[in-house]
Structure 1
Amino acid sequence: MELQALQYPIGKWNPQETYTWDEIQERIALLKTFPAKYRAITNGISEEDLLKQYREGSWTVRQVVNHVADMHILHYIRFKHALTEENTQGVVAKIDAWANLSEAQNAPIDFSLTLLEGTHQRWTYLLEQMTAEDFTKGYYHPLRKIYIPLTDALDMGVWHSQHHLEHLKIALNK
């Protein structure tokens, strides 16, 4: 598999021009499914499996799982900020630095799977309470240097979930 395909197995994230209410609801439903998918793909894997990588020089399985839990907390917080503040900036992280912390390299993945489950429960509950008008709100992403409407942010969250799930499938040969 070539590097680009290993790095972006489902392609790079690209927002749609617009989203229908049904498409928003479909994405919320998808977001609900990912914690169980992450739990299933990592169920019963060994310590050796946790050290596997999806490409040479990439994060390990453990780092990927820990990264997804970390970033989805940030996604959830971005929504809360956008819904409650004017002209908010999206909370960002130095993801490589976070992934290289001893905690991210060594913590049991069950910690992150539990975080992912709780975060997705709260995040999707919030999403289900939102109105169409709420989804027109958004935040400025200082690293991407773009304004991200919450419809795009939702789509990005689904993409991010699937993107890293595919990395785990590659690393674990599933």
Structure 2
Amino acid sequence: MTDIEFLKYPIGRFKLPENVSESTLKEAIETVRSLPDLLEEAVLTYDDQKLNTPYRPGGWSVRQVIHHLADSHINAFMRFKLALTEENPTIKPYDESSWAELPDNQLSVLPSLSLIKCIHFKWVFLMENMSNEDFQKTYYHPENKNSPTLMEVAHMYSWHGVHHLAHIQHLAIRENWLSKSISE
């Protein structure tokens, strides 16, 4: 399928679960926990040609997606800490597209995979030790003009990681990059 909407949003656009609960939060945290290993599994064997392949026409390369995830999730973790220690702090948005064009996005993906692993380790620990009241804390996003709760943000970044992992996985399927299974 080459529908551009599917290529942009292979798992659909983010939607907060209708019934946010302790159960959906645990699932979101588990997704954040598992993302680093799933990303490594998806890209560690890729050569430069594969890493430099855009996941869709006009989209970022696999390499840029990995670096973006590190940048984005570092920012998300810091936003959590700000919200936990200040009253509805105003966060600093950043231009993701411009960041994706900076020279560090030409590096190997290994540093960003390591950053993702470390940030997610700390982030999961933080979330697992937050109270229900903590998850109701907010930050103000000046671009979106809203103050999401950390509960909403946890669900959003759970989706965000899987969203970009799906970009990489669907590209691998379309390009027939998947190795043969043991049973074949």
By the TM > 0.5 criterion, same fold? yes
Could you tell me how far apart the structure 2 residues matched to 1:73 and 1:150 are? 15
The Cα shift of 1:87 comes to: 2.2
Q: 2:111 — aligned with what?
A: 111
**What residue ranges of structure 2 are gaps of 5+ in the alignment?**
179-184
Aligned: 1:120 with 2:120: yes
Q: 1:160 — aligned with what?
A: 160
Q: 1:39 — aligned with what?
A: 40
Query: TM-score, normalising length from structure 2?
Result: 0.90
Q: 2:182 — aligned with what?
A: none
Matches within 5 A, 1:123-138: 123-138=123-138
Cα deviation 1:126-161 (Å, max 9, x = unaligned): 001100110010111122221110111000110100
Secondary structure of the residue that 2:140 maps to in structure 1? Answer: strand
Contact 1:31/1:124, CA 8 A, preserved across alignment = yes
Could you tell me how far apart the structure 2 residues matched to 1:143 and 1:3 are? 25
Contact 2:87/2:138, CA 8 A, preserved across alignment = no
Matches within 5 A, 1:14-53: 14-53=15-54
Q: 1:100 — aligned with what?
A: 101
Aligned: 1:76 with 2:77: yes
Q: Does 109-118 or 144-153 show the bigger shift?
A: 144-153
Q: How many residues align?
A: 173
Query: TM-score, normalising length from structure 1?
Result: 0.95
Could you tell me how far apart the structure 2 residues matched to 1:115 and 1:22 are? 27
Q: 1:170 — aligned with what?
A: 170
Q: 1:91 — aligned with what?
A: 92
Cα deviation 1:38-73 (Å, max 9, x = unaligned): 000002111100111111111000000000011000
Letter in 1 for 2:109: I
Contact 1:13/1:156, CA 8 A, preserved across alignment = yes
Which structure dedicates a bigger proportion of its chain to strand?
1
Across the aligned residues of Structure 1 and Structure 2, the Cα RMSD in angstroms comes to 1.2
Structure ID, larger Rg: 2
Matches within 5 A, 1:133-148: 133-148=133-148
Q: 2:149 — aligned with what?
A: 149
Contact 1:69/1:113, CA 8 A, preserved across alignment = yes
Q: Percent identity among equivalent residues?
A: 35
Contact 1:16/1:152, CA 8 A, preserved across alignment = no
